[in-house]
């Protein structure tokens, strides 16, 4: 299956670079380019891409407003948001608007292609630094008791704990497969089973729990071992 992609960025050099990355793989086709959010809406209606690579900050209509409007289309595409900064304060706004992932513009071609495949298949993808910042905010907002975390993690098998730790690092299924030398289908099964055992709905919640358990993400100073949690 050819994945149809629209590239949205106000800088021509960024659009050109992303197009070059996509053209390294035969299963991607760039069907449109847009210079801002308003242009993106028009081109999405005309070309019906499977996924939109959306710049976060643009003049006129920005990526967040454009994503909300794309979600209202009869055939809404997936949206993978791109930004220069991992600590961008608008990451949560982008997710609330319906973005399926959030990556940084310094990514490599293979990372971009892998992320797009995940998003088109219905998954979510975050750059590790972005996920760590999201997890820190989530942990501060919704504290989890140490005993509760330990009990949940103890119920996992060794392989499931390894998968949980890698989810805490923001790894995709493909990256986890390479790290653990497993088949992609096996990783998908492990992820689903781990989420089910923990009573979680998505990978972001798993990353929060991994963070609290001291797996994957490094523990920040405000949640250092021995500090109240």
Give the tens place of pLDDT for each residue, 148-202.
Answer: 667 778 888 888 888 888 887 777 788 888 888 988 889 889 999 998 888 887 8
SS3 of 128-186: HHHHHHHHHHHHHHCCCCHHHHHHHHHCCCHHHHHHHHHHHCCCCHHHHHHHHCCCHHH
The predicted pLDDT at position 15 comes to: 95
The predicted pLDDT at position 1 comes to: 80
Most confident segment among 7-16, 77-86, 188-197:
7-16
Break the chain down into helix, strand, coil percent, rounded to 5.
Answer: 50, 15, 35
Q: For residues 144 and 121, is the Cβ–Cβ distance under 8 A? A: no
Give the tens place of pLDDT for each residue, 38-60.
Answer: 999 999 999 999 999 999 999 88
Considering the chain, what is the average pLDDT of its residues? 82
Give the tens place of pLDDT for each residue, 103-144.
Answer: 988 888 998 999 999 899 888 888 877 777 766 665 555 444
Is residue 221 predicted with pLDDT exceeding 70?
no
pLDDT (average), residues 86-98: 75
The predicted pLDDT at position 174 comes to: 81
The predicted pLDDT at position 147 comes to: 59
In angstroms, the CA 133 to CA 221 distance is 14
The predicted pLDDT at position 88 comes to: 57
User: What is the DSSP secondary structure assignment for residue 79, as one 8-state letter?
Assistant: E
Is residue 227 predicted with pLDDT exceeding 50?
no
Tell me the percentage of the chain whose pLDDT exceeds 70: 83
The predicted pLDDT at position 78 comes to: 95
């Amino acid at each position: 299956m050819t994945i149809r992609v629209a590239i949205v960025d106000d800088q021509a050099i960024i659009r050109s670079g992303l197009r070059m990355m996509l053209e390294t793989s035969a299963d991607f086709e760039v069907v449109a380019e847009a210079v801002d959010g308003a242009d993106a809406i028009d081109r999405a209606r005309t070309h019906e891409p499977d996924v939109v690579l959306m710049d976060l900050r643009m003049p006129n209509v920005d990526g967040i407003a454009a994503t909300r409007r794309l979600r209202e289309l009869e055939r809404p595409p997936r949206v993978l948001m791109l930004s220069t900064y991992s600590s961008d304060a608008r990451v949560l706004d982008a997710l609330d608007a319906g973005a399926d992932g959030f990556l940084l513009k310094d990514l490599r071609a293979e990372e971009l292609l892998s992320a797009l495949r995940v998003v088109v298949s219905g998954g979510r993808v975050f750059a590790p630094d972005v996920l760590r910042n999201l997890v820190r905010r989530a942990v501060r907002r919704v504290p989890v008791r140490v005993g509760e975390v330990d009990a949940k993690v103890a119920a996992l098998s060794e392989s499931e704990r390894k998968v949980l730790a890698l989810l805490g690092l923001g790894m995709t299924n493909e990256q986890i497969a390479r790290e653990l030398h497993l088949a992609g289908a096996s990783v998908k099964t492990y992820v689903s089973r781990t989420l089910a055992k923990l009573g979680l709905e998505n990978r972001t919640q798993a990353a929060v729990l991994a963070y609290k358990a001291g797996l994957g993400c490094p523990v920040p100073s405000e949640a250092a071992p021995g500090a109240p949690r």
